[in-house]
Amino acid sequence: MGKSKAEIQRAYRQRLKEKNNEEYLRRERERMRRNYVPSSELSDRDKKRRNEQNRAKLRRFYQRKREERQRLVAPQEQDTSGYDSAPNDSSERGRLRVRIPFQNNRRKGALIRWKRELSEATSRIRLLEQERSKLLKRYKSTQRSLQRMKNKSKNQHLSQELTPRKQTEQEMQMANLSNSQKQKIRKSLLLGNVIVSEVKRTKEQTPKGTMKANAALSVKLLRKEGIDVSANPERATENFPTKDDLEKSLPESIVWSQWKRIEIEEKGKKKMVTRVTETKVNREQFLVKLEQQMKDFESHVKRVAKQYEEIKRLKQNLPKHEMLLQLDFAENYSCRSLEEV
């Protein structure tokens, strides 16, 4: 039976190796370098097969080294006790030669080196862990100190109401911004704080959904004092009495009822509710607040009328194949008290 191509190639390489071993090994090394594929580019199956081949080659390499050491030590091992003398040589007469076969520890060199490096790495890790523990303790201490400073500063500023400008400066200072960064964001941040401040002030003065109700209570108070004004607050804004007429008809002290957000305590918990509260004010204060209230309510009425007018115009002039979608977002209130909205 003839040989296969693999057997023929193997026999050919064996002949080349026997003929010129050094040249053969050099060419094999070059061929392996040219055809080498990095492990990262191999599949899991090929990578596993390469690792097995490398382990097998390493075992054969160590086996050849052991055989070479045994061949070198074998001629030195004799059946005698190891003491030898040369009586025939008159120059070395009386001398005793002792051959002591020292054990070769080259095989343990790598293991010793690995143990030494492992010990050094363990020592470095232990020192780094100690340093890390110290830094972590210092970091937590600094963090607690910084938190105490922030709480102290916050409590100081809560006791007094900040203006938008002071609030802007405080926020930039707490953010640890540089002077150039402060110059870039000061205007926009100040504008945002001013708007938020105005919104909060308006919300505190006029709770949500109570503008018309408050205007109606004010009109009711005027009618009670004998002033000729329409009971409908929307119509009352069209022919509202002048300030001079109101001064002549109103008393010096007025009890004014308005819807306001107040804080109450229920079942041990504090909460904000909207209820009618009575406030005793003098005539001058009442006229100033009433003028501003009716001006705001008139603007509100005009906005609503304009919105209805525009939506009606859109419906009448709606293009073909188009539709108008109107969404009404309402909040789901649950009535817990007859006096609450």
Q: What is the pLDDT of residues 217-272, one digit of tens each?
A: 888 988 888 888 888 888 888 888 888 888 888 888 888 888 888 888 888 888 88
In a domain, 67, yes or no: no
Q: Is residue 91 part of a domain?
A: no
Overall number of domains in the chain: 4
For residue 221, is it within any domain? yes
Both 218 and 288 in one domain: the answer is: yes
CA atoms within 13 Å, Cβ hemisphere of 259: 19
Are residues 301 and 215 both part of a single domain? yes
What is this structure's pTM? 0.39
216 and 269 inside one domain: yes
Domain presence at residue 174: yes
Same domain, 197 and 246: no
* 334: its two tokens: 């649950």
Closest CA to 256 of 288, 291, 221: 221
Range of the domain at 172: 161-202
Kindly list the distances between the CA atom of residue 164 and the CA atoms of 151, 188, 189, 192, in Å, as whole numbers in the listed order: 20, 12, 9, 9
Decide if 173 is inside a domain.
yes
Percent of the chain surpassing pLDDT 70: 81
Q: Is residue 21 part of a domain?
A: yes
Regarding whether 218 and 292 lie in a shared domain, the answer is yes
CA distance linking residue 181 with residue 178, whole number of Å: 5
Q: Tell me: pLDDT of 334 over 80.
A: no
> Are 265 and 308 in the same domain?
yes
Are residue 182 and residue 231 in the same domain, yes or no? no
> pLDDT tens for residues 48-66?
999 999 999 899 999 988 8
Contacts of 245 (CB under 8 A, 6+ apart): 227
Would you say residue 293 lies in a domain? Answer: yes
